[in-house]
């Protein structure tokens, strides 16, 4: 038999298939490398520097020092020399707005530095998120490019600021001519409020001309006077709106949101991270441990601790050590809202993640200025149990606070909490920068053709989960470290920062509001009410119950689980019980309704919701039921033991109507109506209700118009069903 050898076409097929497999594997590896921001590829680098207004000598010196440090960092970096380098100067007017108090000499020094050869190869961009006025304009003119928010504006200088001073005017024109960011006539108008500026339509298109030069222009050009537009009236300080700045070529782009800056400038995601403190202010750090279930009480305690550390301890560096905690979405939303609004000029917040931050916990990390992780630590994941309402609350905080205030990437931040957000990596054709966007986000870009879509970085049906290295690559994390010592080195922290500890008040509130002790406090309160009913006239039980329930509701009110509603419900319930016992004897609607209201108030006071909607709320609801259930069970046991043993104690044997001292009923009273006119003696204080001995039987009665002391002779004056009314008899 002859063995047949495979034919050459067969070998060609095998070779072709193997080649396809190899090429496919290589392409997929390359795509993943692009998706996570391959560091080996050229991409533009950027830096955001906040310029506090007004600009004075102290601010000017610190800004120049920071710019020099940035230049050294760019030159010492490993990036290629032809990679674009961008510095964005964000003019921060503060909460009071720009009052125009910048000093001319200080602004001139800063402007000359920005136009010097020291910044050759670095593109400077002035970003105006709010209206700007005064000599800070000189620094804006010194930048290569200007970007403004849609509601921003530029107000020129007036006579009080030296508009008529030839030295000041010459300096402005010198800086403006170096950069040519501002058209010459626009620049002249901003420093000369007396000159009226017009836009005219000529035979060669639209032209800018001063009113006193219009006749001369008409001798050279054909002007349509009917289409002449006044830009600056000349009778007041010039004010250039954002739309005018865009129309006349001062501004290249109008920016709706600050987080869009990086995309519009063609920068890599996370490039415009807010720098830490301007100047050489020493860092005074404090650590805050987040290693347990985060609820409203935990958040309120940490907020008060952070505020106290900043206010009393001068702390300007807050580090959250996030170590595998869990929590409720409502608590984390409140905490993230608080963290995102801390002013980074006063205090820097850093989230340190050594292991993992999953579920709702990433919200707190994203709300910090920086995230620092171990290389293999995890950020995100475990969001399957989120309800639609929880996701909506989380995304609202992300998009309203975290993205605009901390400049987080919107698409990546949303994807951490939503499994249906598809995020792609886009590459800028001009700069090579990488950005992470959704398809809809890319569609909204003003120049979307500059960006090529590459690999998808999310997995269908799963929320985004990143390791430390991946989070650093996409710009969500500032860096990765092997341990906390490396984090200290990263920020230049000296020594071991101390961990903040709750105050004794916070600790007391936490202990009193904990389920382990809350049920005992409720039990003491219920036992006090029972004792007061069984020992009328003493008041010890009532005092104990008042103290116990005051502690319970105070602790839960400070714990932000109880509010005015629960307190009112409890007081109404107590009032109904008192009404039933002392005014309307028997156990009817007031007694039953009062007891139900008290139980509802105790349950609601231990939680922040009415009906549980999530797993975390179900756990809290279970704890609330356990607190009240244990207290009720203990109350039943106390009642049984007290009726059996307390009457035998020396102190109470004279006060409790034990079976040995009670009069035995010798027979039925007969019809209640037959009691009218019957006499007897009060065996308890009637305040106004109590017990009386009538016809050798102990019955419930109620005094009419007065309180009657024990052992006082009484007479029945009226009978209404089971309600027997009595009054005292004068002896």
Q: Which residue has the tokens 């809809």?
A: 440
| pLDDT over 70 at 302, yes or no | yes
Half-sphere exposure of 139 (CA within 13 A, CB side): 31
Q: What is the pLDDT of residue 292?
A: 81
- Residue 175 has which token pair? 């800086």
What's the rounded Cα separation, in Å, for the pair 692 and 699?
Answer: 6
Please choose, from the candidates 596, 593, 577, the residue with its C-alpha nearest in 3D space to the C-alpha of residue 585: 577
How do beta strands 466-467 and 378-379 pair? antiparallel
Q: What is the pLDDT of residue 662?
A: 41
How many Cβ atoms from other residues are within 10 Å of residue 314's Cβ? 11
| pLDDT over 80 at 643, yes or no | no
Q: What is the pLDDT of residue 573?
A: 87
Q: Average pLDDT, stretch 290-295?
A: 84
Which is more confident, 144 or 660? 144
Please list the residues that pair with 499 across neighbouring strands.
Answer: 287
Q: Which of 104-118, 238-252, 660-674, 706-720 has the lowest mean pLDDT?
A: 660-674
How many Cβ atoms from other residues are within 10 Å of residue 223's Cβ? 20
Chain centroid to Cα 506, Å, comes to 21
| pLDDT over 70 at 669, yes or no | no
What's the rounded Cα separation, in Å, for the pair 466 and 436?
Answer: 14
| pLDDT over 70 at 452, yes or no | yes
- What is the pLDDT confidence band of residue 456, given thresholds at 50, 70 and 90? very high
Please list the residues that pair with 683 across neighbouring strands.
Answer: none
Residue 280 burial (10 A CB sphere; 0-12, 13-18, 19+):
exposed
- Residue 616 has which token pair? 């975390």
What's the rounded Cα separation, in Å, for the pair 700 and 586?
Answer: 8
- State the distance between the two ends of the chain, measured CA to CA, in whole angstroms: 140
| pLDDT over 90 at 107, yes or no | yes
**Residue pLDDT, tens place only, 112-151:** 999 998 888 889 999 998 899 889 999 999 999 999 988 8
**Residue pLDDT, tens place only, 581-612:** 666 655 567 778 888 888 888 888 877 777 77
Q: Which helix (H) or strand (E) holds 65?
A: helix 57-76
Which is more confident, 158 or 31? 158
How do beta strands 451-456 and 132-133 pair? unpaired
What's the rounded Cα separation, in Å, for the pair 442 and 411?
Answer: 11
723, 584 in Cβ contact below 8 A?
yes
Rounded (10°) CA dihedral 666, 670, 675, 676: -160
Predicted TM-score (pTM) above 0.85:
no
**Residue pLDDT, tens place only, 386-412:** 888 889 999 999 998 898 888 888 999
Helices (H), 214-256: 214-220, 242-247
Q: What is the pLDDT of residue 508?
A: 73
- Residue 672 has which token pair? 């209640």
**Residue pLDDT, tens place only, 4-19:** 444 444 434 444 444 4
Helices (H), 314-387: 329-340, 362-366
Q: What is the pLDDT of residue 362?
A: 95
Q: What is the pLDDT of residue 34?
A: 39
Q: What is the pLDDT of residue 13?
A: 45
Rounded (10°) CA dihedral 512, 515, 517, 519: 110
616, 328 in Cβ contact below 8 A?
yes
Q: What is the pLDDT of residue 502?
A: 67
| pLDDT over 70 at 534, yes or no | no
> Per-residue b/e over 348-361, b at no fewer than 16 CB within 10 Å?
bbbbbbbebbbbbb
Q: Average pLDDT, stretch 466-488?
A: 89
What's the rounded Cα separation, in Å, for the pair 707 and 685?
Answer: 7
DSSP string, 195-236: S-EEEEEETTEEEEEEGGGHHHHHHHS-EEEEEEEEEE-SSS
What's the rounded Cα separation, in Å, for the pair 332 and 29?
Answer: 37
201, 227 in Cβ contact below 8 A?
yes
| pLDDT over 50 at 477, yes or no | yes
Q: What is the pLDDT of residue 260?
A: 77
Q: Which of 25-39, 483-497, 549-563 has the lowest mean pLDDT?
A: 25-39
**Residue pLDDT, tens place only, 179-199:** 888 988 999 999 988 889 998
Which is more confident, 655 or 502? 502
Q: Which domains does the chain have, with CATH numbers?
A: 45-193+236-256 (3.90.226.10), 195-232 (no CATH), 285-491 (3.90.226.10), 505-562+605-648 (no CATH), 672-728 (2.40.50.140)
What's the rounded Cα separation, in Å, for the pair 501 and 384?
Answer: 34
Please choose, from the candidates 105, 152, 100, the residue with its C-alpha nearest in 3D space to the C-alpha of residue 131: 152
What's the rounded Cα separation, in Å, for the pair 67 and 122?
Answer: 11
Residue 229 burial (10 A CB sphere; 0-12, 13-18, 19+):
exposed
Please list the residues that pair with 681 across neighbouring strands.
Answer: 693, 713
Q: What is the pLDDT of residue 538?
A: 57
**Residue pLDDT, tens place only, 53-93:** 888 877 888 888 888 877 877 776 544 445 568 889 989 87
Please choose, from the candidates 340, 337, 339, 325, the residue with its C-alpha nearest in 3D space to the C-alpha of residue 295: 325
Most confident range, picked from 313-327, 564-578, 636-650 = 313-327
| pLDDT over 70 at 650, yes or no | no
Which is more confident, 576 or 379? 379
Residue 327 burial (10 A CB sphere; 0-12, 13-18, 19+):
buried
| pLDDT over 80 at 651, yes or no | no
- Residue 391 has which token pair? 């996701």
- Tell me the percentage of the chain whose pLDDT exceeds 90: 22
| pLDDT over 80 at 509, yes or no | no
| pLDDT over 60 at 353, yes or no | yes
Supply the mean pLDDT for the chain: 80
- What is the pLDDT confidence band of residue 706, given thresholds at 50, 70 and 90? confident
The region, left, alpha or beta by phi > 0 then psi within -120 to 50, assigned to residue 428 is beta
Which is more confident, 624 or 503? 624
Q: How far is CA 567 from CA 184, 601, 633, in A?
A: 70, 7, 23
Q: What is the pLDDT of residue 100?
A: 75
Residue 319 burial (10 A CB sphere; 0-12, 13-18, 19+):
buried
560, 297 in Cβ contact below 8 A?
yes
Q: Average pLDDT, stretch 628-640?
A: 84
| pLDDT over 90 at 657, yes or no | no
Q: Average pLDDT, stretch 659-664?
A: 39
Q: How many residues does the chain have?
A: 731
Q: Average pLDDT, stretch 16-30?
A: 42
């Amino acid at each position: 038999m002859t063995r047949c050898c495979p034919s050459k076409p067969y070998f060609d097929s095998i070779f072709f298939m193997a080649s396809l497999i190899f090429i496919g594997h290589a392409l997929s590896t390359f795509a993943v490398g692009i998706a996570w921001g391959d560091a080996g590829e050229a991409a533009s680098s950027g830096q955001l520097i906040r310029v506090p207004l007004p600009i004075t000598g102290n601010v000017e010196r610190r800004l120049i020092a920071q710019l020099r440090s940035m230049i050294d960092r760019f030159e010492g970096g490993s990036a290629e020399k032809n990679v674009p380098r961008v510095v964005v100067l964000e003019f921060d007017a503060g909460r009071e707005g720009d009052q125009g108090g910048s000093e001319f000499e200080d602004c001139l020094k800063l402007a000359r530095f920005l136009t010097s050869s020291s910044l050759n190869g670095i593109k400077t961009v002035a970003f105006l998120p709010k209206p700007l006025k005064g000599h800070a304009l000189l620094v804006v003119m010194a930048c290569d490019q200007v970007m403004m928010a849609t509601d921003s504006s530029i107000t020129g200088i007036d006579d009080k600021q030296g508009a008529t001073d030839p030295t000041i005017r010459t300096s402005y024109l010198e800086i403006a001519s170096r950069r040519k960011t501002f058209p010459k006539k626009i620049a002249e108008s901003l420093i000369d409020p007396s000159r009226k500026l017009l836009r005219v339509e000529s035979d060669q298109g639209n032209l800018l001309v001063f009113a006193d030069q219009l006749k001369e222009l008409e001798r050279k050009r054909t002007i349509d006077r009917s289409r002449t537009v006044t830009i600056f009236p000349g009778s007041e300080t010039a004010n250039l709106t954002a739309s005018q700045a865009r129309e006349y070529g001062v501004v290249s782009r109008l920016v709706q949101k600050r987080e869009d800056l990086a995309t519009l400038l063609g920068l890599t995601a996370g490039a415009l991270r807010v720098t830490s403190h301007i100047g050489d202010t020493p860092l005074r750090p404090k650590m805050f441990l987040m290693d347990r279930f985060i609820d409203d009480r935990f958040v309120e305690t940490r907020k008060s601790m952070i505020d106290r550390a900043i206010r009393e301890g001068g702390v300007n560096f807050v580090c959250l050590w996030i170590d595998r905690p869990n929590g409720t979405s409502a608590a984390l939303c409140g905490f993230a809202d608080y963290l995102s609004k801390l002013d980074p000029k006063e205090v820097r917040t850093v989230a340190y993640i050594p292991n993992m931050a999953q579920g709702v916990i990433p919200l707190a990390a994203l709300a910090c200025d920086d995230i620092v992780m171990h290389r293999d630590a995890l950020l995100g994941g475990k969001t399957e149990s989120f309800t639609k309402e929880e996701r909506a609350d989380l995304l609202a905080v992300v998009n309203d606070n975290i993205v605009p205030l901390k400049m987080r990437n919107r698409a990546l931040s949303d994807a951490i909490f939503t499994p249906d957000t598809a995020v792609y990596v886009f590459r800028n054709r001009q700069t090579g920068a990488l950005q992470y966007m959704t398809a809809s986000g890319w569609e909204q870009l003003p120049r979307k053709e500059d960006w090529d879509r590459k690999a998808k970085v999310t997995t269908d049906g799963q929320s985004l989960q990143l390791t430390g290295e991946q989070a650093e690559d996409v710009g969500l994390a500032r860096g990765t470290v092997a341990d906390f010592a490396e984090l200290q080195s990263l920020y230049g922290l000296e020594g071991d920062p101390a961990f903040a500890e709750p105050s004794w008040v916070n600790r007391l509130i936490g202990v009193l509001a904990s389920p382990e002790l809350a049920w005992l406090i409720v039990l003491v309160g219920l036992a006090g009410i029972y004792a007061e009913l069984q020992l009328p006239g003493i008041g010890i039980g009532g005092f104990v119950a008042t103290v116990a329930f005051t502690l319970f509701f105070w602790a839960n009110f400070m714990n932000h689980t109880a509010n005015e509603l629960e307190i009112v419900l409890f007081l109404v319930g107590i009032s109904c019980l008192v009404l039933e016992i002392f005014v309307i004897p028997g156990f009817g609607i007031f007694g039953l309704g009062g007891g139900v209201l008290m139980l509802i108030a105790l349950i609601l006071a231990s939680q922040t919701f009415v009906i549980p909607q999530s797993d975390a709320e179900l756990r809290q609801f279970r704890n609330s039921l356990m607190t009240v259930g244990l207290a009720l069970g203990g109350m039943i046991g106390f009642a049984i033991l007290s009726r059996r043993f307390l009457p035998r104690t020396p102190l109470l044997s004279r006060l409790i109507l034990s079976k040995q001292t009670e009069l035995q009923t010798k027979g039925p009273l007969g019809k209640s109506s037959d009691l009218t006119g019957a006499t007897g003696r009060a065996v308890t204080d009637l305040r106004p209700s109590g017990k009386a001995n009538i016809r050798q039987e102990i019955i419930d009665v109620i005094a009419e118009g007065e309180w009657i002391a024990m052992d006082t002779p009484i007479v029945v004056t009226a009978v209404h069903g089971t309600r027997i009314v009595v009054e005292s008899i004068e002896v």
